[in-house]
Structures are given as structure tokens and as C-alpha cells.
Amino acid sequence: MNLIELHNVHKKLSERFCLEGINLIVKQGEFVILKGLNGSGKTTLLNLILGLDVPDSGEVKLDGYSPLYPKSKNHVGAVLQTVKPPKETKVKEFVELWRSYYPNPLSAEEILSTVNLEGKHDDFLDKLSGGEKQRIIFALGIADKPKCLIVDEPTKELDLEGKEDFWEQIKRCREMGITILMVTNESSDQDKIKALATRSITLEWNKEDGKSKIVAVEIIRDTPDLKQKGNSTVESQNLLSMLWRQTWIEFLKLSRNRIYLLGLLLFPCMVVFLTPNEQAGKIELLCFAGISLLTFAIERLGNVIATERSEGWLKLLRVSPLPPTVYLAAKILVSLAILTVNLLLVLLLGAWRLGIHENLGRWLVMFFSFILGIIPFVILGLALGYLFKPKSVNVITGLSIPFALFTCGLPLPVSKPVQDLIAFSPFCHYGRLVMWSAGMSNDNYVSIDLLWLLWAACIFGFLAVWAYQHDAEVQR
């Protein structure tokens, strides 16, 4: 059975580098070593195999499927460089989260005992030593007793003891019948490779034409007849269980960020500076609530995504069977929960401070109009997080608020052509929806406002998907 297949794969990264005509098959039971000098394209090749990048031409299959499909990784583990689990989580919490991605996972105790971390259940991930962090990453790769394990430069940063421990784990994987594709150039690993590997493949980059090709294939030994002892039955993934675990972890991370929580609670208190007048104060309250929601929607989600990208957490997720829709849905749910709390505090404090008297029905209409209208901008924050680094997201957020105020539909002394242009802004339709919900506008086109916001959500959603698929951070 072929677990990895590449047929005539081409990938151009620049004018001076491209993978050309790569043909590679890794059969079940093999232990294949991928070698080559720095810059020969080994990491690029792994990115193609794992679906972190797509070829310009040719075909790539992982366990019989395109690696772009999450189900291709149901029984494939990966141990990569430049990945980092979320630091705000504890070891067992993180392992339980990772288990939820797989149809037939080992228990958390089995996973941790495999890498000798049984006593670390309640330790935070960022408090582990370098060697322990490496073992956690390895543990994730074997969480489902995979058919195939893909490993990138595993011993590069390890000391002698760490290397010995790693190769003992590899021996156990081979005893379980796990197929392995490993990238390594470490001279200290050569004796271990000769004792375990079945084949080595060498990539070489030609300086003159900029092309990288497979230039040598060495058969080290015949592929042993190993019986797969792992889980081979593919079961349907429990998406609800994944979503629950992912959302719970997001809430845990948030609850441990005390500075962020303090800001979330204190920001609504600024309503005390608004004009204590029912009519004028009501307009100010609506503007303040809108600005508050937009700031948290765009900045909160955008910053979180951008930070997780830069730290390597998203790269780790991309090589798991977790569907991106589940990850994104968890982010959106948590963001909407934050925005709900923020909006409730603003409206309650505003009504008390400004003496606004409205019936319950009116407050409910206002509340749901705010929440419904903010969804496109939550998705926009998601897209910005995939497109930019954290500092850039902060700058964009700072610029978007004045733009939102200018285009939200407030009566401003601007020319007719400018007003016509403002009508195309999603901020304008959000503002009109909110003003209508507060009974301060006789807008008879609420359905059009909702359709514009739906259109904006779709556009921002397509942008987020495109940015996710072309994320340069995960290709490093």
C-alpha cells in the first residue's frame, strides 16, 4: 500500500529555485530518509506532502487522499520544526485537545507515558524544558498510532541524551509497524539510520538552472514485513466533539489572560464620560457600543490569529485532521461570547448612567442587531490575522475605527458623491441597522442593510479562506 505518492510534481518558489519533476512513493513498512544540503528543497517537499503548500503541477497523495483534505491525516503523524503549542494550556489539556482530532486516539495517559511525561499532566506547556517540549511534539505525532510518521530534522537541537531518547522512540515506532519519512542531515545520526532505515533519497539543487531534483536513491535494506499495530479503521470524525474541545481550550486560554480580561471589563466603564442626556446620550451610547464591538472584533481575533501563526501553533494544526472550519468556528464562537459580554456591560451601564428608558423588546432588538451586524467584522478580523503580523493588525484596527465613524451613516457635511460612496461601506449598513433597532431612524430598507452585511460576510469569508490557504508562515 502506498502511503505517500508524488507524481511529476513541480513547485516554483522563486526565479532561482523550483522543485522539478519529483516522483516519490513511500510504501507501508518503509523507513525513508530524505537528505540534501540546506536549500535543496527538503522542507518544501514536506510542505507539499502535508498539504501546507500546493504544487504548481503534478499530483500529491497522502494515505490515498489529497493532503489538502483533513481526512488524509487521520492516520498520519508529523513532527516538525518551528511549531509551538499554545503556552496558556496545561500538558494534559493540550493532549486531550489533540486526541479529539483523531477517530481512534490513544488515551492521554498512554500518549504521555510513551514519551516519559507521566508526571507532567498539570504543568503549563511554556514551563517545560526544551527536551520536554520536543517530546510533547513527538507525542502528538503518535497520538493515533499512525500508519505513517513524517519527521523533519528531529535531532537538530537535541543534546546527546535527547538524541538517544528520540531514537529509542523511533525504534518503538518501527516495532509498532509505523512507516516513517524522515528529513535529516545530522552526521551523528548515520549509525542509527543504517540500523533502521530501508531507503535514502537525496535532493540536490542545481545552482545554474535553479532546479532541485532527486539525484540519488539508495536501498539500505529490504522493507521488513511489519504488521501495523496501530488503528487502521477510519471512522467518521466527531465534529461536535472537536468543536467543543477547541472552544473550551479557547475559553481556558482567555480566562488565563488576566490583563485582557481586565481590559474587557474596564473598557465599558468609559460610558460614564458620555453626556447624561437621554436623547444625545442615546446616540453617543450607540456610537460607543459600535466602536467597542468593532475594536474587539477586529483587533481581538486578528491579533490572536496573527500571534498563533507567528508562533507556529497554526502550522501544527494544519498537519492534524482538524478541519479548518472547526478551528475557525471555535474562534468565532469565543469572539462572539466576548462581544456579547462587552455589549451587555456597555448597554447596562449606559442605560443606568444616561437615564435611557426603553422597554425590554426595544433593548432586545438593539442587542441582537448589534451582534448580528458585527459578525462580518469578526470574519474580517479573522482574515486580517491570516494576512498580517500582530503589529500590523493593531495599526489596521487603529485606522479602521475613524473610517468606520466616517462611513457609518451619521449625518455629516459631505458632498452627494461622497454620500453615494459611503452607501457601499458595510459600516454604513451596520450603522443604519443599529439606528433602526434603537428607533432613531425610519429606515424602510432594513432587509437591504442585512443583505449588504451578508454580502460583506461572504466577501470577508472568501478572503479569510484564501489567506488561510496561502499562509506563508506555515510554509517555513
Tens digits of per-residue pLDDT, 120-137? 889 998 888 888 888 888
Tens digits of per-residue pLDDT, 429-474? 999 999 999 888 776 788 999 999 999 999 998 888 888 767 766 6
What's the pLDDT at 236? 58
Fill in the DSSP letter of residue 241: H
- Residue 234 amino acid letter: V
Rounded to two decimals, the pTM is: 0.85
> Mutual orientation of helices 390-407 and 301-311 as an angle, nearest 10°?
160
Structure-derived torsion over alpha carbons of residues 92, 94, 97, 101, reported in degrees to the nearest 10: -120
Which burial class, exposed, middle or buried, applies to 473 when counting CB atoms under 10 A from its CB (0-12, 13-18, 19+)?
Answer: middle
Give the CATH number of domain 1-75+148-230: 3.40.50.300
DSSP state letters, 111-174: HHHHTT-GGGTTSBGGGS-HHHHHHHHHHHHTTT--SEEEEESTTTT--HHHHHHHHHHHHHHH
Q: What does the chain come to in residues?
A: 476
Strand pairing class (31-35; 199-205)? parallel
Range of lowest pLDDT (33-47, 67-81, 194-208, 398-412): 398-412
The residue extents of the domains of the chain are: 1-75+148-230, 90-145, 239-471
What's the pLDDT at 403? 86
Yes or no: say if 17 and 205 are a contact pair by the CB < 8 Å rule. Answer: yes
Tens digits of per-residue pLDDT, 56-74? 999 999 999 999 999 999 9
Tens digits of per-residue pLDDT, 433-444? 999 998 887 767
Mean pLDDT (the chain) is 87
Closest CA to 305 of 241, 395, 379, 374: 379
Yes or no: say if 307 and 425 are a contact pair by the CB < 8 Å rule. Answer: no
The angle formed by the CA atoms of residues 451, 455 and 461, to the nearest 5 degrees, is 145
